Amino acid sequence: MKVIADKAVEEATVENVTEPVKKSKIALIGIKKGATAARQAVTKIASAPSRLFDSGLYGACYGISYGAVFTSLAIVKMLPANSLVTKGFHDGAKVARKDFKTRQEKHLVTKDSKVVN
């Protein structure tokens, strides 16, 4: 029964959602899909302790990343196209990317100047 439920979660995406499944449940589906992928990654581990740790870490990071990104995309997709809320999401993401890039560049300059000195 659980295998069937996991397969149904895997097949549900933003693009092919049917009418009975409400858009508000898409985020939950994404989180469940990420958790399922994390569980599958952990069950496919080798016997070596380092591979066990690596596989578990990968599965956890994958699940967190997938859940965060999928949930964000689902929320934005539910909002009206030309609303202030949607504009705020887009503008905030744009500035965050710019600030992150600026921070990385400053870090590289600082790192390079320490190496030269």
Cβ 62 vs Cβ 34: under 8 Å:
yes
50 or 11: which leads in pLDDT: 50
Instruction: For tokens 């600026």, name the residue.
Output: 102
Cα separation of 5 and 75, whole Å?
23
Instruction: Please write the tens of the pLDDT for every residue from 16-56.
Output: 555 455 665 777 787 788 878 777 776 665 455 667 777 88
- pLDDT confidence of residue 115: 55
Report if pTM > 0.85. Answer: no
